[in-house]
Amino acid sequence: MYNIKQLALKIDAKIKVQPFVKWAGGKRQLLDELVRYAPKWFNRYFEPFVGGGALFFRLQPKLSTISDINPELMNVYQIIKDQVDDLIIELKKLKNTEQDFYKIRNADRNLDYNKWNNVQKAARFIYLNKTCYNGLYRVNSKGYFNVPYGNYQNPNIIDEHNLRASNEALRNIVIKCQSFLDVEKDARKGDFIYFDPPYIPLNRTSFTKYFKDDFDLKMQVDLRDLCDRLSEKGVYFMVSNSHTPLIFRLYAKYAKLIKEVDANRAINCKSEGRGKVKEVIITNY
């Protein structure tokens, strides 16, 4: 069984790992609040919307399953876990020039891309994340990455120390590419799940409207229903989302357990701009 304070203290004293990608909705600046509101004790850890994995890397519980629906991202986790040396060699070949950027970015428009191995694909993903505009991840309707060149002086494409620390942190961790709904079959009583889904947009409160990024109202409801079922099973959950009337309605059952926190967003997949934004943390304990 894990004790949250011991986990957090152990990591303070040991290897510090930063998320290896800049990720929209990344939770770096809310980490203290998330640690504060995590359950005191839990068995295994699950993070089904892992993204850049800020909370996972902060806690590094060895009995963890991390997952996300993005196959390219989950390939990077797998390669860092299994082939970090090969990845570093591959990354060293990539140069931060506009010409190279577009050549690498547009590689997925070419049939040859199917012949790239997973290490090359992981290196491309990290390279694009560091050199594209604002570290955004966006693909067009055909699934081709389409964020423009960021023109950064020193984008730190290979942070070798952090990649090796991430490799250590991922040892024995279960990595999956799947929908958040699949966590249900694995989680058992006493386990802890942190859900950090794409947020409900701040400017839409209607129950009938659909949201961007395919993570629509139905999925927000599915997530809430999943939380209800997990609660019945004795699984601890913590959910992050935006501070909207819709969220308070959806999670009315947990109203007394909703915490309001201030987030200072650097990049914003949730597209409400920059600066201080109120968010909520919902728990069932």
Report residue 20 as tokens. 């290896």
Tell the smallest beta-carbon distance from residue 180 to ligand SAM (Å): 4
Q: Provide the token pair at 258.
A: 């909703």
- Smallest gap from Cβ 115 to ligand SAM, in A, equals 26
Which residue, 123, 26, 28, is CA-closest to 72? 123
Q: Does 51 bind ligand SAM (CB under 6 A)?
A: yes
Q: Which of 68, 72, 90, 191 binds ligand SAM (CB under 6 A)?
A: 68
Are 253 and 211 in contact by the 8 Å Cβ rule? The answer is no
Q: Record the tokens describing residue 43, joined without a space.
A: 């068995």
Which one of 11, 44, 46, 48 is in contact with ligand SAM (CB under 6 A)?
48
Minimum CB–partner distance for residue 259 and ligand SAM (Å): 17
Contact between 271 and ligand SAM by CB under 6 A: the answer reads no
Interface of this chain with ligand SAM, residues 177 to 206, rule: CB under 6 A: 179-180, 196-198
Alpha-carbon distance of 124 to 96, in angstroms, equals 12
- Contact yes or no for 133/147 (Cβ under 8 A): yes
Question: Sign of the C-alpha dihedral, residues 39, 45, 47, 51?
Answer: positive
Q: Which of 4, 11, 25, 80 binds ligand SAM (CB under 6 A)?
A: 25
Region from 20-28, 74-82, 114-122, 168-176 binding ligand SAM, contact rule CB under 6 A: 20-28
> With binding defined as CB under 6 A, does residue 49 bind ligand SAM?
yes
